[in-house]
Amino acid sequence: MKILLTGATGFLGSKILRRLLQEKYQVVVLKRSTSDNKRIVKYLSDCSVYDADTQFIEEIFAAERPQVVIHCAAAYGRGDSNPSQVVDTNLMFGIKLLEAASHHGCEWFVNTGSYSTKQIEENGRVEKKIYMADYTLSKQQFICWGQEFAALKRIHFITLNLEHIFGEDDDEGKFVHLVERNCMQQQVMELSDGMQLRDYIYSENVVDAYLCVLAHLEELKGFHVFEVGMGEPITLKEFVLLMKEVSSSPIDLRFGVRPRNSCEPECSVADIKGLRDLGWQPYLSRREGIQRMFQKDRREGRI
């Protein structure tokens, strides 16, 4: 089976790429010419690679004829980006992929969604300020377009709505990586009260979810949404304390010093019944995931 993968240079996409190649899938990587390839440089000779910003997407699909798209590319709206840039990546680029995929006989589109879209009402209304609004709204709107394509029988559309992922080689500035680095540097760290409920899940468990979906594609025609997490909440405070314990760090964690983000969700936990019914299980616990993350990031000099 040939799979076109977007976002392969990122934290999650690079891990999916590695596993796809290990499982002997043919992989076509679609990236930007400006992407940092450090995470995937050793895999580039094992797959076809195209730059989406310098080559026509229609021509790439015509040449490669993938059966499946796994779409991990995303813009989060951080830094200097503006709403139009986020919409261009998360919505317009996705629609171009859907059009090209359906036109060239690609049967399945596996989309990467987010827990954050739970904040949007079922009727599409926004009742209050949304956390990471540019990102969240554009991701939800793209799912609506996927549902429309599936309803018109142009392609089968599957979304994996991911909870909070953690793992080795994460991006600088992400919260878990910041805590990890501070644990190693034995610093004082000021945090909110940490009572937000979260469903942290180790990255390799998430990759397993994608592989599980690939193994059951014939059962997944039409439109489907799966939630990906451990299925059990943990407070942010408990998770950070677990990181401190696993790393044996003397870090001074000062909870309740910083205010919470006023628009972040109070509680987010995945309903994983759908994936369990396909045979998926998150086989690595949070503790085991944290242990692996610290071991690998220490060994490879990232912390």
What's the confidence (pLDDT) of residue 88? 95
What's the confidence (pLDDT) of residue 124? 55
88 found inside a domain: yes
Give the residue from 112, 134, 162 where a domain finishes: 162
Q: Is the distance from CB of 201 to CB of 269 less than 8 angstroms? A: no
Q: What is the pLDDT of residues 89-106, one digit of tens each?
A: 999 999 999 999 999 999
Residue 128 reports pLDDT greater than 80: no
Mean pLDDT, the chain, integer: 94
Residue 118 reports pLDDT greater than 90: no
Looking at the fold, whether 126 and 144 belong to one and the same domain comes out as yes
What's the confidence (pLDDT) of residue 79? 64
102 found inside a domain: yes
Question: Sign (positive/negative) of CA torsion 185, 187, 190, 196?
Answer: positive
Residue 273 reports pLDDT greater than 90: yes
Looking at the fold, whether 177 and 130 belong to one and the same domain comes out as no
Residue 123 reports pLDDT greater than 90: no
Q: What is the pLDDT of residues 191-246, one digit of tens each?
A: 999 999 999 999 999 999 999 999 999 999 999 999 999 999 999 999 999 999 99
* Number of structural domains the chain divides into: 2
Task: Give the CATH number for residue 293.
Answer: 3.90.25.10
Residue 127 reports pLDDT greater than 70: no
Looking at the fold, whether 257 and 146 belong to one and the same domain comes out as no
Task: Give the CATH number for residue 122.
Answer: 3.40.50.720
Which regions of 163-271 does DSSP assign to beta strands (E)? 165-166, 188-190, 197-198, 201-202, 223-228, 234-235, 252-254
Looking at the fold, whether 187 and 122 belong to one and the same domain comes out as no
Looking at the fold, whether 20 and 153 belong to one and the same domain comes out as yes
What's the confidence (pLDDT) of residue 303? 87
Looking at the fold, whether 136 and 254 belong to one and the same domain comes out as no
Question: Sign (positive/negative) of CA torsion 292, 297, 299, 300?
Answer: positive
Residue 109 reports pLDDT greater than 90: yes
Looking at the fold, whether 58 and 21 belong to one and the same domain comes out as yes
Q: Structural domain of residue 189, as residue ranges? A: 172-199+233-270+285-299
Q: What is the pLDDT of residues 62-87, one digit of tens each?
A: 999 999 999 999 998 876 678 999 99
